[in-house]
Amino acid sequence: MSKKMHTTLKVNGKQEEFLAEPRELLIYTLRERLNITGPHIGCETSHCGACTVTIDGKSVKSCTMFAAQAEGAEITTIEGLGGPDDLHPLQEAFKEHHGLQCGYCTPGMITRATKLLEEIPNPTEEEIRFGMAGNICRCTGYQNIVKSIQAAATEMNAAKEAAE
Amino acid sequence: MKDEVDNREDRVANLKGMGCSRKRVEDARFTQGKGNYVDDVKLDGMLFGDFVRSPYAHARITSINTEEALKVPGVLAVLTAADLEPLGLHWMPTLAGDKQMVLADGKVLFQGQEVAFVVAQDRYAAADGIEAVEVEYEELPVIVDPFESLKSDVILREDLDPTADGAHGPRKHPNHIFTWEAGDKEPTEEVIANAEVVAEEEMYYHRTHPCPLETCGCVASMDKVNGKLTLWGTFQAPHAIRTVVSLISGIEEHNIRVISPDIGGGFGNKVGAYPGYVCSVVASIVTGKPVKWIEDRMDNLMTTAFARDYWMKGKISATKDGKITGLHCHVTADHGGFDACADPTKFPAGFMNICTGSYDIPTAYLEVDGVYTNKAPGGVSYRCSFRVTEAVYFIERMIEVLAIKLNMDAAELRRINFIKKEQFPYTAALGWEYDSGDYHTAWEKALTTVDYDGLRAEQAQRVEDFKAGKTRKLMGIGLSFFTEIVGAGPVKNCDILGLGMFDSCEIRIHPTGSAIARLGTISQGQGHATTFAQILASEIGLPADSITIEEGDTDTAPYGLGTYGSRSTPVAGAATAMAGRKIRAKAQMIAAYLLEVHDNDVEFDVDRFVVKGAPEKFKTMKEIAFAAYNQAIPGIEPGLEAVSYYDPPNMTYPFGAYVCVMDIDVDTGVPEIRRFYALDDCGTRINPMIIEGQVHGGLTEALAVALGQEIAYDDMGNCKTGTLMDFFLPTAWEVPNYETDYTVTPSPHHPIGAKGVGESPHVGGVPCFSNAVQDAFRPFGNTHTNMPHDHWRIWKMANDLGLHD
Determine, for residues A103 and B27 on separate chains, whether the beta-carbon distance falls below 8 Å.
Answer: yes
Question: With 90 as the cut, is the pLDDT of residue B719 above it?
Answer: yes
Determine, for residues B211 and A138 on separate chains, whether the beta-carbon distance falls below 8 Å.
Answer: yes
**Average pLDDT score over residue span A97-125:** 98
Q: What is the pLDDT of residues B654-703, one digit of tens each?
A: 999 999 999 999 999 999 999 999 999 999 999 999 999 999 999 999 99
Domains delineated in chain A:
5-80 (3.10.20.30), 89-163 (1.10.150.120)
Cα B645 from chain centre: 22
> Pick from A31, A132, A141: which is nearest to B697 by CB?
A141
Helix (H) or strand (E) holding B343: none
Spatial separation of the C-alpha atoms in residues B667 and B678, rounded to whole Å:
29
pLDDT band of A1, cuts 50, 70, 90: low
In chain B, residues with a C-beta closer than 8 Å to the C-beta of A94 are 27, 31
Indicate the SS3 state at residue B96. coil
pLDDT band of B630, cuts 50, 70, 90: very high
Q: What is the pLDDT of residues B21-36, one digit of tens each?
A: 999 999 999 999 999 9
Q: What is the pLDDT of residues B327-372, one digit of tens each?
A: 999 999 999 999 999 889 899 999 999 999 999 999 999 999 999 9
CA angle B714, B715, B719 (to 5 degrees): 35
Q: What rounded mean pLDDT belongs to chain A?
A: 97
Indicate the SS3 state at residue B44. coil
**Does B2-35+503-646 carry CATH code 1.10.630.10?**
no
- Under 8 Å between Cβ of B152 and B82: no
> Pick from B26, B123, B725: which is nearest to A103 by CB?
B26
Distance from CA of B526 to the nearest CA of A (A): 6
- Under 8 Å between Cβ of B515 and B509: yes
Choose the mutation target among A116, A138, A150 for the interface with B, i.e. most B CBs under 10 Å: A138
Question: With 90 as the cut, is the pLDDT of residue B292 above it?
Answer: yes
**Residue B240 — φ and ψ, nearest 5°?**
-60, -40
Determine, for residues A21 and B693 on separate chains, whether the beta-carbon distance falls below 8 Å.
Answer: no
Determine, for residues A104 and B34 on separate chains, whether the beta-carbon distance falls below 8 Å.
Answer: no
Tell me which chain B residue has its CA closest to the CA of residue A52. Answer: B33
The Cα-based distances of B69 to A22, A24, B234, B553, B737 in angstroms read: 22, 21, 29, 36, 52
- B524 counts as catalytic: no
Spatial separation of the C-alpha atoms in residues B461 and B457, rounded to whole Å:
6
What residue spans in chain B does CATH classification 3.90.1170.50 cover?
38-140+215-263+271-303
Q: How far apart are the first and last CA of chain B?
A: 77
The Cα-based distances of B700 to B122, B339, B613, B765 in angstroms read: 36, 29, 53, 8
Of these residues, B100, B111, B113, B236, which one is catalytic? B236
Q: What rounded mean pLDDT belongs to chain B?
A: 96
Choose the mutation target among B30, B131, B293, B728 for the interface with A, i.e. most A CBs under 10 Å: B30
Question: With 60 as the cut, is the pLDDT of residue A76 above it?
Answer: yes
- The dihedral through the CA atoms of B70, B216, B260, A90 has a sign that is positive
Peptide bond into B489 cis (omega under 30): yes
Q: What is the pLDDT of residues B476-532, one digit of tens each?
A: 999 999 999 999 989 999 998 889 999 999 999 999 999 999 999 999 999 999 999
Distance from CA of B219 to the nearest CA of A (A): 15
How many residue pairs from chains A and B have C-beta atoms closer than 8 A? 174
Q: What percent of chain B stands above pLDDT 70?
A: 99
Question: With 50 as the cut, is the pLDDT of residue B3 above it?
Answer: no
Give the strand pairing for B134-139 and B114-120. unpaired
Determine, for residues A141 and B699 on separate chains, whether the beta-carbon distance falls below 8 Å.
Answer: yes
Pick the closest to residue B304 from B385, B235, B389, B222 (CA basis).
B235
In chain A, residues with a C-beta closer than 8 Å to the C-beta of B731 are 132-136, 142
Residue B400, C-beta contacts closer than 8 angstroms, at least 6 positions apart: B410, B479, B771, B774, B775, B784
Distance from CA of A125 to the nearest CA of B (A): 10
Peptide bond into B788 cis (omega under 30): yes
Determine, for residues A102 and B524 on separate chains, whether the beta-carbon distance falls below 8 Å.
Answer: yes
Spatial separation of the C-alpha atoms in residues B263 and B232, rounded to whole Å:
11
Q: What percent of chain B stands above pLDDT 90?
A: 96
Cα B792 from chain centre: 29
> Pick from A21, A87, A101: which is nearest to B693 by CB?
A101
**Residue A28 — φ and ψ, nearest 5°?**
-65, -45
> Pick from B33, B211, B690: which is nearest to A107 by CB?
B33
In chain A, residues with a C-beta closer than 8 Å to the C-beta of B31 are 78, 87, 91, 94-95, 100, 103, 106, 110
Spatial separation of the C-alpha atoms in residues B603 and B608, rounded to whole Å:
8
Indicate the SS3 state at residue B652. strand
Determine, for residues B212 and A142 on separate chains, whether the beta-carbon distance falls below 8 Å.
Answer: no
Spatial separation of the C-alpha atoms in residues B246 and B261, rounded to whole Å:
20
Distance from CA of A66 to the nearest CA of B (A): 13
pLDDT of residue B342: 87
- B759 counts as catalytic: yes
pLDDT band of B38, cuts 50, 70, 90: very high
Of these residues, B506, B539, B692, B759, which one is catalytic? B759
Tell me which chain B residue has its CA closest to the CA of residue A130. Answer: B733
Ranges of H-type helices in B596-684: 621-630
Q: What is the ipTM of this complex?
A: 0.98
pLDDT of residue B218: 98
- Under 8 Å between Cβ of B359 and B324: yes
> Pick from B35, B40, B693: which is nearest to A144 by CB?
B693
Tell me which chain B residue has its CA closest to the CA of residue A35. Answer: B40
Spatial separation of the C-alpha atoms in residues A116 and A127, rounded to whole Å:
9
Determine, for residues A128 and B263 on separate chains, whether the beta-carbon distance falls below 8 Å.
Answer: no
Ranges of H-type helices in chain A: 26-28, 89-96, 106-119, 125-131, 143-163
- Under 8 Å between Cβ of B293 and B364: no
Cα B635 from chain centre: 46
What residue spans in chain B does CATH classification 3.30.365.10 cover?
2-35+503-646, 306-488+651-800
Q: What is the CA radius of gyration of chain A?
A: 16
Determine, for residues A42 and B297 on separate chains, whether the beta-carbon distance falls below 8 Å.
Answer: yes
Tell me which chain A residue has its CA closest to the CA of residue B740. Answer: A143
Question: With 90 as the cut, is the pLDDT of residue B565 above it?
Answer: no
pLDDT of residue B2: 46
**Average pLDDT score over residue span B254-282:** 96
> Pick from B28, B212, B732: which is nearest to A132 by CB?
B732
In chain B, residues with a C-beta closer than 8 Å to the C-beta of A96 are 23
Question: With 50 as the cut, is the pLDDT of residue B1 above it?
Answer: no
Q: What is the CA radius of gyration of chain B?
A: 28
Three-state DSSP string of B106-124: CEECCCCCEEEEEEECCHH
In chain B, residues with a C-beta closer than 8 Å to the C-beta of A139 are 265, 525, 693, 697
pLDDT of residue B4: 53
Question: With 90 as the cut, is the pLDDT of residue B321 above it?
Answer: yes
Distance from CA of B726 to the nearest CA of A (A): 11
- B383 counts as catalytic: yes
Determine, for residues A141 and B267 on separate chains, whether the beta-carbon distance falls below 8 Å.
Answer: no
Indicate the SS3 state at residue A5. strand
Q: What is the pLDDT of residues B173-226, one digit of tens each?
A: 999 999 999 999 999 999 999 999 999 999 999 999 999 999 999 999 999 999
Distance from CA of A44 to the nearest CA of B (A): 7
Spatial separation of the C-alpha atoms in residues B270 and B37, rounded to whole Å:
13
CATH topology of domain B38-140+215-263+271-303: Aldehyde Oxidoreductase; domain 3 (3.90.1170)
Determine, for residues B732 and A43 on separate chains, whether the beta-carbon distance falls below 8 Å.
Answer: no
**Average pLDDT score over residue span B788-792:** 98
Q: How far apart are the first and last CA of chain A?
A: 55
> Pick from B213, B689, B737: which is nearest to A105 by CB?
B213
Indicate the SS3 state at residue B745. coil
Q: Domain B306-488+651-800 carries which CATH code? A: 3.30.365.10
Burial B538-575 (b: 16+ CB within 10 A, else e): bbbbbbbebbebebbbbeebbbbbbbbbbbbbbbbbbb
Determine, for residues B214 and A42 on separate chains, whether the beta-carbon distance falls below 8 Å.
Answer: yes
In chain A, residues with a C-beta closer than 8 Å to the C-beta of B263 are 102
Indicate the SS3 state at residue B566. coil
Indicate the SS3 state at residue B174. coil
Spatial separation of the C-alpha atoms in residues B334 and B376, rounded to whole Å:
10
Distance from CA of B792 to the nearest CA of A (A): 21
- B113 counts as catalytic: no
Tell me which chain A residue has its CA closest to the CA of residue B732. Answer: A129
Compute the CA torsion angle B116, B122, B123, B127 (nearest 10 deg). -50
